[in-house]
Amino acid sequence: MGQAGTNGPGGRRWRVIATAGMALLAGNGAAAAQGNEAVYGVWSNAKGTLHVQTAACGEKLCGSVVWATDKAKTDSLKGGVTHLVGTQLLQEYRRTGTNSWAGRVFVPDMGRTFSSRIQRLPSGELKISGCLVGGLICKSQTWHRVP
């Protein structure tokens, strides 16, 4: 058996396979980015006390507070957050399926980060869930897009 060098027939075959594989991976990355665009923007939490802007953070999704009521700012002090606006609440979300992402959510008034899921609902709203104990105890909120 001969060695498949980069210049022989086997080498060309590997280059074609590698090129096709890289094109597929690039296509999947572009598709994931397009899917994430559905959740990019400014969102209001359920109580209307926070506005969070979601955007790409490298290849992942994240979201930071861009506006907060005085009450939300005061509540965040309980968790040790002195500057709520600018705080990243949604951290390192990766796409897990159609209209769903998994990552971590920081809860300012508790000063803690929890495992989390985001689901884009058919209505266009976002359902944000934060979970304790390996997902056994979860709370969720529905967020609305800010016009």
Whether pTM exceeds 0.85? no
pLDDT at 62 over 50: yes
Cα–Cα dist 123/138, whole Å: 22
Residues 32, 49 within the same domain: no
Examine the domain organization and report whether 49 and 20 are in the same domain: no
**Which residue range(s) make up the domain with 12?**
1-38
Question: What is the average pLDDT across 71-82?
Answer: 96
Pair (33, 51) in one structural domain: no
85 has a pLDDT exceeding 80: yes
Is the domain of 47 the same as that of 106?
yes
Q: Where is pLDDT greater, at 14 or 55? A: 55
